Structure 1
Amino acid sequence: MPAPKVLISDALSPAAVQIFKDRGIEVDFQPDLGKDKDKLAAIIGNYDGLAIRSATKVTPKILEAAKALKVIGRAGIGVDNVDIPAATAKGIIVMNTPFGNSITTAEHAVAMMFALAREIPAADASTQAGKWEKNRFMGVEITAKTLGIIGCGNIGSIVAERAIGLKMKVIAYDPFLSPERALDLGVEKVELEDLLARADFITLHTPLTEKTKNVLSAEALAKTKKGVRIINCARGGLVDEVALRAALDSGHVAGAAFDVFVEEPAKENPLFGHPNVVCTPHLGAATTEAQENVALQVAEQMSEYLLRGAISNAVNFPSITAEEAPKLKPFIALAENLGSFAGQLTETGIKSVHITYEGTVAGLKIKALTSAAVAGLLRPMLADINVVSAPSVAKERGIVIEETTREAQGEHDALITLTVVTEKQERSVVGTVFADGAPRIVAIKGIKVDAEFAPSMIYVTNEDKPGFIGRFAGLLGDAGVNIATFALGRDRQGGSAIALVEVDGAVPDSVLASVQTIPGVKQVKPLKF
């Protein structure tokens, strides 16, 4: 069998090139090729693997030409330069290296905090201009101050450890941080409102998702302590830049240090030009060590896959063999959708996840199914999570995952039951795969329903009273929202009822608010699959 061929189209460490060669893989190192889309498309058909950083844009056109490509390896965490749905459709594994630059990014956040506290950039410019303005730059001490960390995962927890070493008091807001993990780290787990009210410094370490976008909005900034300093080395868009500029101008926020911006490269920005703002050009992962780490990691991962079929840190596929794939595929979709259903309804910290595999599904590779379920569960809050990294991310956050297998006991020959235990409640959802391969929900919180997953749905829990369906359908009809399917269930006459409704397109918030006002309605949630 001929040796696999890998193309490196970005500037990757020579040590990574050596790893490929040592493993018997043919390497074509063309570090400037990624900038030339046409040239890349012309030659990509000859390679089994493509190793990239951020300069190469892997578009559908390039994937179309990539006839032999089996794997794309991104040295770094962000894979927004790869068209993942198009790669997945072609059966190409997309891998990243999520942990190779964590320390570097955490250190940059700490460096930015110091730069802000002591006005180092402005003091440097002034001193080098020969001004010697000793009285102008009156900084603040970091010792004994309260640092609020929004997002205490891999990078956030490294920042927490460093800050504790600097004798700071650390509080953290992260719905996925377990009380036990918080105790281990020595941080106090708090709600966002509490963090805003108490923190002297706020640093963000969360991915950008619908839930985290503008987590520091104008409203949130108004709740912060006067004189707060804000650091963002995570993602542009977590902070409302215009609102922050206004809070800086009014003096409510004492300073801000940003490495990331809504639009990058940032040639102009609302924060630029303010005397109390420090900016760097997305340097979070820019150290020699980090670049070396991620390059070595991606070379190892790609070699393992091309030579042995082992998959790690794939963003679009779990680790399964060719023989298992056809049987497992519909159940992976079911597990991920059940997880996503529970994740979209979960507002508080998750303590544990119990998954029961019943009947024929119990004989399949349940680790891949559990990974898919956990990825679905955590994705509404953690955009970068994938089916491979999900279990380790859950473990990092102290979430206990339990699996049970048993013989079929009811009318279905294969069932998956997902139970999520949070700090406030327990929620179960049960699903199966029908003969047509379509995953379905067959029970929620012990109430029988029968619904397929659809791109846009509304979930309603209510008291089983006459008139609900008419009012609900009327409100949607008046708002021009078309109902595609309507699944209902109840535990007993006059008891608790559930509606799972498929609709065409997104539902305006105002319509959901109106549904909430129908007598007897307990909860209304929009869902996306």
Structure 2
Amino acid sequence: MAPKVLVSDKLSETAVQIFRDRGIDVDFQPDLGKDKDKLAEVIGQYDGLAIRSATKVTEKILAAADNLKVIARAGIGTDNIDKDAASKKGVIVMNTPFGNMITTAEHAIAMMFAVARQIPEASASTHAGKWEKSKFMGTELTNKTLGVIGAGNIGGIVCDRARGLKMKVIAYDPFLGEEKADQMGVEKVELDDLLARADFITLHVPFTDATANILSRENLAKTKKGVRIINCARGGLVDEEALAEMLQSGHVAGAAFDVFAVEPAKENALFNLPNVVCTPHLGAATTEAQENVALQVAEQMSSYLLTGAVENALNMPSVTAEEAKVMGPWLKLASHLGSFVGQMADEPIQAINILYDGVASELNLNALNCGLVAGIMKKANPDVNMVSAPVVARERGIQISTTNQDKSGTFDGYIKVTVVTDKRERSVAGTVFSDGKPRFIQIKGINIDAEIGAHMLYTTNEDVPGIIGALGRTMGEFGVNIANFTLGRSEAGGEAIALLYVDEPTPAEARAKLAETGLFTQIKPLQFDVA
């Protein structure tokens, strides 16, 4: 059955057609997102949800989204999606961070010109039949210092455009390296230095705990007298009340805001102040940008639902279509390894240690980690998946560590996972053979070569005669067919293990009969999702 996607906001017909062309069953209802009750009523039918800003994906909506696998936002901001609730539900949240970069950067530059030359006020005055040429004395951008807070994708474009305007560009961004700053032709500075030196300040950061109110009253007081401030990024980055006071006092010469702490902004401290330019969140509002992000949403969602490729996800590692093809067997192996130790652990898990060797260490380890942790967590929560598993593990205080190393043994690569409880450690290792099938190659340090089936039986015992016979007779007596039988031991007469791949679950009566022999120290039925 084809995946089913709901488009609940206004996306272009071209984007909707992309879904159809890719074989997706798309339901285009561009006004449905405004009706939260109706959305909650129908969302359970869909595998994917494509939105803009009008649809609010709340915890209530997600609670009803029993089949939902992915939400994709046409644009950058995902404030209208409860990402924590989505992650716990196991739903991937995607955005399209690159489709409107140029548009937003151009809007910031336009706003900078507008406030520097008082263009809106001059336009209104002239339309009113006045000719107040001397009233609107502006300032040039050439040779002025532009302080850019956040030099990522959009901020980087602003830096490039500003250098073309012959401005001196300084940037504050904790993630900007000196080498990258040199390549961009900007000077990397600390925030206090930027505040003291900049003639213009423009913000290009997301709204996070670290950036909230980054231009606070205290920081605004550190700015150069006559500074002009532009915010086309996110509301809540600037103390609007404090800025309004400084505009009225003359410390700040002008401001240009496209975003506000509360939107839609019907009233605001900045409104109706002289030399303040305001626009209604138009940063991404160009024909080109709206079309670009819509097309990206359709392509990203289709690729994920059809191939497993994950692009621009906010709560899961990205996996390209090419990676998905190569990593498929390794992701399956990671899930099986996690499932094995998860089913074996009877006490609360304190730590998960993962080792990647050889070719496995060259893959997308973040994605493999998610798959492996999901396998472990499924014992406690069968509904967990690659998205929700890290959240569940974090909530339980489980420490996860990853090590990767060059090829160190017989196999081109392998994965080994060790779980630590307050009583013991359990480990299992596996690899992917050339036929693309995952295998277990080591359990508790004992080498084996075991094919993985949906139903398995794991036993441990002292290495003595009669084990194979006891297992074979008992399985036969209860009508359980053995598809594959693997043995391993630490040394002659030492600890030994057996792993049976059986065609159906081993009945409790069969396990009890095995226990009665006194030969086995552990008898554990296992199940794996091999579909």
TM-score range, shorter chain: 0.5 to 0.7
Equivalent-residue separation in structure 1 for 2:33 and 2:120 (angstroms): 34
Equivalent-residue separation in structure 1 for 2:363 and 2:76 (angstroms): 24
Match of 1:229, SS state, is strand
Matched letter for residue 332 of structure 2: E
Within a 5 Å distance, the mapping from 1:2-151 to structure 2 comes to 2-151=1-150
Contact conserved, 1:358 with 1:405, CA < 8 A, in 2?
no
What displacement does 1:306 show? 1.0
Within a 5 Å distance, the mapping from 1:202-241 to structure 2 comes to 202-241=201-240
Describe the shift of the 1:371–1:278 C-alpha distance in structure 2 as closer, same or farther (beyond 3 A): farther
Match of 2:133, SS state, is coil
What displacement does 1:289 show? 0.9
Q: Which residue of 2 aligns with 1:434?
A: 420
Match of 2:332, SS state, is coil
Describe the shift of the 1:277–1:438 C-alpha distance in structure 2 as closer, same or farther (beyond 3 A): farther
Describe the shift of the 1:18–1:243 C-alpha distance in structure 2 as closer, same or farther (beyond 3 A): same
Describe the shift of the 1:121–1:3 C-alpha distance in structure 2 as closer, same or farther (beyond 3 A): same
Equivalent-residue separation in structure 2 for 1:167 and 1:48 (angstroms): 50
Q: Which residue of 2 aligns with 1:313?
A: 312
What displacement does 1:404 show? 4.9
Match of 1:143, SS state, is coil
Describe the shift of the 1:136–1:186 C-alpha distance in structure 2 as closer, same or farther (beyond 3 A): same
Matched letter for residue 160 of structure 1: C
Q: Which residue of 2 aligns with 1:360?
A: 355
Q: Select the structure of larger CA radius of gyration.
A: 2
Q: Which residue of 2 aligns with 1:163?
A: 162
What displacement does 1:102 show? 0.8
Let me know the Cα RMSD of the aligned residues: 3.2
Q: Which residue of 1 aligns with 2:258?
A: 259
Structure 1 residues 220-259: Cα deviation after superposition (integer angstroms, max 9, x where no partner): 2222111110101111121111111111111111000011
Match of 1:135, SS state, is helix
Match of 1:434, SS state, is strand
Matched letter for residue 35 of structure 1: K
Q: Which residue of 1 aligns with 2:405?
A: 405
Matched letter for residue 197 of structure 1: A
Q: Which residue of 1 aligns with 2:299?
A: 300
Matched letter for residue 275 of structure 1: P
Structure 1 residues 39-82: Cα deviation after superposition (integer angstroms, max 9, x where no partner): 22222222221111111112232223222222111111122222
Equivalent-residue separation in structure 2 for 1:437 and 1:149 (angstroms): 53
Contact conserved, 1:359 with 1:406, CA < 8 A, in 2?
no
Match of 1:215, SS state, is coil
Q: Percent identity, please.
A: 70
Match of 1:149, SS state, is strand
Equivalent-residue separation in structure 2 for 1:308 and 1:152 (angstroms): 33
Equivalent-residue separation in structure 2 for 1:196 and 1:60 (angstroms): 39
What displacement does 1:137 show? 0.3
Equivalent-residue separation in structure 1 for 2:354 and 2:275 (angstroms): 62
* Gaps in structure 1 of 5+ consecutive residues: 331-356, 374-386, 388-401, 409-413, 417-431, 440-529
> What TM-score does the superposition give when structure 1 sets the normalisation length?
0.64
Contact conserved, 1:95 with 1:315, CA < 8 A, in 2?
yes
Shifted more, 280-289 versus 106-115: the winner is 280-289
Matched letter for residue 355 of structure 2: T
What displacement does 1:368 show? 4.1
Contact conserved, 2:361 with 2:404, CA < 8 A, in 1?
no
Equivalent-residue separation in structure 1 for 2:337 and 2:292 (angstroms): 34
Equivalent-residue separation in structure 2 for 1:213 and 1:77 (angstroms): 17
Equivalent-residue separation in structure 2 for 1:160 and 1:71 (angstroms): 34
What displacement does 1:310 show? 1.2
Q: Which residue of 1 aligns with 2:372?
A: none
Shifted more, 308-317 versus 82-91: the winner is 82-91
Q: Which residue of 1 aligns with 2:194?
A: 195
Equivalent-residue separation in structure 2 for 1:371 and 1:172 (angstroms): 33
Match of 2:40, SS state, is helix
Alignment length (residue pairs): 368
